[in-house]
Copies of this chain bind each other. A is one copy, B any other.
Amino acid sequence: MNQTKTSPTMKDVAQEAGVSLGTVSKVVNGISVGEEYYRRVQAAIEKLDYRINSYAKGLKSNKTFTIAVMVPNLINPFFSQLVDAINRELAAKNYRMLFYATDYDPKLEQRLVQLAEQQKVDGIICLSYNPELKVSEGVPFVSIDRYFGGNIPCVSADNYGGGRLAAEKLAENGCRNVAFMRVGSHLTNEPNKRKDGFVSGCEALGIPCTLKITGDDTPISVFEDFLREHFRDGKLEFDGIFCVTDYLAHQIIGILSSMGLQVPEDVQVIGFDGIRAFGDQELTCSTIIQPIEAIASSCVEMVLGTQLIKAPSLLCLPISYGFGGTTKA
């Protein structure tokens, strides 16, 4: 018989140490036992190289020390940096992270939430693109950037404040006619407040503001068309543009330069997120910086229930301005 060597169980340890199963369990879980027993069990554990079986433990105790984290993908640096930060927080608390990419697909997202629940995770952190997402009562759920109401907590940056700040910064730098650009129309999404904040900021400052918001799946060329419409005699009608994300800002900058316009000399551009292209290097465009670490740690605290949520709650974390060379200062 060529038995494949199976890993030792608590029973094996108990036998080796000459104690009962319950005693081994106590030692493994750090519950106090007699000194002599403790020593014997530890020795047996070392000798057999025993490791607890998380699946047996999870089955019996209904606690898996696993959190599901869901974002559209890991390609967009905002998402990957967020997930990185969440993972750090979880690891520090001895939790494990099950990762799911939703690909911006509401159906898939719904399926993944069910999958995660069935996977018996202790909680779910999700940056959702599904306004109608159904979540089971049983599993703690924390949303990022989308407020569902009910008793589902949501963590997000102060998007409204960020919008206002963008308006103020452009104004400070001398802009007198600005535009706002946004892809998609997920209306209940918190980031949509960036527009509201920006518009209100412009109004307060007395600066005219044009909005260009495309549908969900329109190509980037729509923005190019828009810009060309407002381009006469080698001059752009706007002297400042606020883009809803850094990602979009980079695309817009590309279009502007292909039109022969200089950034920031001819037109200033400001994005949102605070992406550092290669991780810890400098910003590649001026931007409103999201507090990624703070978002991550709030999510983790909330989902682990360190911080109990009673009422429907929307946590708004402070943003800041970052100069990246696409504004004048």
Contact = CB atoms under 8 A, between A and B. Distances in A.
Interface of A: 7, 51-56, 58-59, 64, 66, 73-77, 80-81, 83-84, 87-88, 91, 96-101, 114-115, 117-120, 138, 246-247, 250-251, 254, 275, 277-282, 284
A119 B51 CA distance: 10
B76 A77 contact: no
A118 B77 contact: no
Given A74-B80, A74-B81, A84-B101, A55 B250 contact: no
B278 A278 contact: no
A113 to B, nearest CB: 12
A76 B281 CA distance: 11
Oligomer: number of copies = 2
B7 A138 contact: yes
Nearest to A118: B51
6 contacts: A87-B99, A87-B100, A96-B98, A98-B98, A250-B277, A277-B278
Contacts of A51: 114, 117-118
A165 to B, nearest CB: 22
B279 A75 contact: yes
A282 B220 CA distance: 14
B74 A120 contact: no
A328 B74 CA distance: 32
A83 B77 contact: no
A109 to B, nearest CB: 13
A32 B52 CA distance: 36
